[in-house]
């Protein structure tokens, strides 16, 4: 009888190599390896298929999902304005559901009964993988070896690999954990765990430090259609090329580094360092264009939506009814978010220099101090009287109560 199959999200690193063998030994499954190409780079992908087969996989897939990731996850997120805890541009959080979706598709194609991943039991990524599987194919079993096995350290993993003749990756082990895709690189764990300690300047790969950046500002113009970026410096680009182009431009100007202490879904705080060069430009430019084109109430309401969107994305709830509903709202708001934004990049800073839109709500006559047909200064008096009525009533009553209205005292 043919063995049952499990599809493993495989990276070719030590952990998933050991997991591949461990799944065969522990569960007696045939293992199908799947690598998602999310833009982690040629060097990380080279030779992975052969390596997976050499480690004992019955089949290996290298799936290029870059375009899908940018088009169906990162750009909708960008349009929403989602930024987690004011700083994190959600590069890993957006990629996980995209990878897990493809894992499920390969499992269906292969008739597998289970999927497996190499996420540890302490992070957000396990949640994101597994919630996606639950939403898309609830009957599929999920195996998370890091939560099951006895291996607790890299040394033990190497031991296991030696015993089972698994080729041990020759790459030098970094003193922190890295997750890279087309949108960002995240660094955390290891020597970064102490938030009082500055990261090693040699760690960064997508951005130069501000002091290494050119002494002249560089201008870049980004074009949007309905909230989706479509061009750089007047040249129309597909989603993948566009992000890569902006990564280079921002990166050489030292733009896109973030160092933060964030609240993980699983309860603890963690220190993360991120490089999101192109994404930082896109988020900045998109907000500029919305400030030009959205009416006040929609803009303010959307700011609240963005907080929630970031939270559900961070929490792994991408395939949820709330995310779909928020996307419908966001899409409606983006009908007029079309135009261009010119930015100046200078030593890690972004300075906006111009924005244009055929749907601009900016009315230069209105902004001047002259009286005109639309705005009668006298109307302002009645407006202020009614708008201020609650404050006036409280002011009068507080005199009777002998409770003065307070300044912002710090006590
Ligand atoms: N803290 C970030 C997040 O939760 C990044 C996680 C990076 N994952 C990793 N395996 N290093 O989205």
Averaged pLDDT in 10-residue chunks for the chain of 411 residues: 93 94 96 98 92 96 98 98 98 98 98 97 97 98 96 89 84 86 96 96 97 98 98 98 98 98 98 98 99 98 98 98 98 98 98 98 78 84 98 94 87 72
Give the pLDDT confidence score for residue 170 in this predicted structure: 66
Q: Which atom of ligand 1 is the closest one to the Cα of 187?
A: 11
**Which domain-ending residue is among 146, 173, 200?**
173
Give the pLDDT confidence score for residue 398 in this predicted structure: 93
What is the DSSP secondary structure assignment for residue 351, as one 8-state letter?
A: E
Q: Which residues contact 324 (CB under 8 A, 6 or more apart)?
A: none
Same domain? 138 vs 223: no
**Which domain-ending residue is among 156, 173, 190?**
173
0.85 exceeded by pTM: yes
How far, in Å, is the centroid of ligand 1 from the Cα of 254? Answer: 22
Q: Which residues contact 292 (CB under 8 A, 6 or more apart)?
A: 339, 355, 357, 360, 361, 362
Give the pLDDT confidence score for residue 174 in this predicted structure: 84
Same domain? 70 vs 18: yes
Give the pLDDT confidence score for residue 375 in this predicted structure: 86
Same domain? 163 vs 184: no
**How far is 298 from 333, CA to CA, in rounded Å?**
7
Same domain? 166 vs 249: no
What are the two backbone dihedrals, phi and then psi, of residue 259, each rounded to the nearest 5 degrees? -130, 120
Same domain? 145 vs 236: no
Same domain? 182 vs 158: no
Pocket lining: 125 vs ligand 1, CB cutoff 6 Å: yes
Strands (E), 30-148: 30-37, 59-64, 114-116, 141-143
Residue 133: inside a domain: yes
Q: Which atom of ligand 1 is the closest one to the Cα of 262?
A: 1
Same domain? 22 vs 143: yes
Q: How many domains does the chain have?
A: 3
Residue 367: inside a domain: no
* Residues 269 and 261: beta-carbon distance below 8 Å: yes
Q: Which residue among 125, 195, 261 is best mutated to probe the pocket of ligand 1, counting the most ligand atoms within 8 A of its Cβ?
A: 125
**Which domain-ending residue is among 126, 158, 173?**
173
Give the pLDDT confidence score for residue 42 in this predicted structure: 86
Pocket lining: 186 vs ligand 1, CB cutoff 6 Å: yes
Same domain? 218 vs 165: no
Q: Which atom of ligand 1 is the closest one to the Cα of 188?
A: 11
Same domain? 94 vs 153: yes
Task: Out of 64, 71, 177, 219, pick the active-site residue.
Answer: 177
Pocket lining: 120 vs ligand 1, CB cutoff 6 Å: no
Same domain? 143 vs 287: no
User: Residue 271 belongs to what H/E stretch?
Assistant: strand 269-275
**How far is 205 from 178, CA to CA, in rounded Å?**
11
* Residues 229 and 282: beta-carbon distance below 8 Å: yes
Give the pLDDT confidence score for residue 112 in this predicted structure: 98
Instruction: Give catalytic status of residue 15 as yes or no.
Output: yes
Query: Which residue range forms the structural domain that includes residue 108?
Result: 5-79+86-173
Give the pLDDT confidence score for residue 39 in this predicted structure: 98
* Residues 119 and 10: beta-carbon distance below 8 Å: no
Residue 13: inside a domain: yes
Same domain? 95 vs 225: no
Instruction: Give catalytic status of residue 125 as yes or no.
Output: yes
Same domain? 116 vs 196: no
């Amino acid at each position: 009888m043919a063995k049952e199959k499990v599809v493993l999200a495989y990276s070719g690193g030590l952990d998933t190599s050991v997991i591949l063998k461990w799944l065969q030994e522990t569960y007696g499954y045939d293992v199908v390896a799947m690598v998602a190409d999310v833009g982690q780079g040629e060097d990380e992908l080279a030779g992975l298929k052969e390596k997976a087969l050499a480690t004992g996989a019955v089949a290996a897939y290298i799936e290029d999902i870059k375009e899908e990731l940018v088009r169906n996850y990162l750009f909708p997120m960008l349009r929403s304005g989602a930024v987690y805890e004011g700083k994190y541009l959600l590069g890993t959080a957006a990629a996980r559901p995209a990878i897990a979706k493809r894992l499920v598709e390969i499992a269906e194609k292969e008739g597998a009964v289970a999927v497996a991943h190499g996420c540890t039991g302490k992070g957000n990524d396990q949640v994101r993988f597994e919630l996606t599987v639950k939403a898309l194919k609830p009957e599929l079993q999920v195996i998370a070896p890091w939560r099951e096995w006895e291996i607790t350290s890299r040394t033990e993993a190497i031991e296991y690999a030696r015993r089972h003749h698994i080729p041990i990756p020759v790459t030098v082990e970094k003193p922190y954990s890295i997750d890279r895709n087309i949108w960002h690189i995240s660094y955390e764990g290891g020597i970064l765990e102490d938030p009082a300690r500055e990261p090693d300047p040699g760690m960064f790969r997508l951005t130069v430090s501000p002091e290494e950046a050119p002494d002249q500002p560089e201008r870049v113009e980004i074009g949007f259609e309905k909230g989706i970026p479509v061009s750089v410096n007047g040249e129309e680009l597909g989603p993948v090329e566009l992000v890569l182009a902006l990564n280079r431009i921002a990166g050489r100007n030292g733009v896109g580094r973030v160092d933060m202490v964030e609240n993980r879904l699983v309860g603890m705080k963690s220190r993360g360092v991120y490089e999101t060069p192109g994404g930082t430009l896109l988020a900045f430019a998109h907000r500029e264009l919305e400030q030009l084109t959205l009416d006040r109430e929609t803009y303010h309401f959307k700011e609240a939506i963005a907080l929630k969107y970031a939270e559900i994305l961070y929490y792994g709830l991408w395939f949820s009814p709330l995310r779909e509903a928020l996307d419908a709202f966001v899409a409606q708001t983006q009908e007029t978010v079309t135009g261009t934004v010119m930015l100046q990049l200078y030593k890690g800073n972004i300075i906006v220099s111009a924005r244009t839109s055929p749907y601009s709500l900016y009315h230069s006559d209105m902004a001047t101090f002259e009286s005109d047909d639309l705005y009668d200064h006298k109307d302002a008096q009645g407006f202020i009287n009614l708008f201020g009525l609650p404050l006036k009533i409280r002011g009068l009553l507080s005199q009777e109560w002998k409770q003065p209205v307070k300044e912002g005292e710090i006590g």
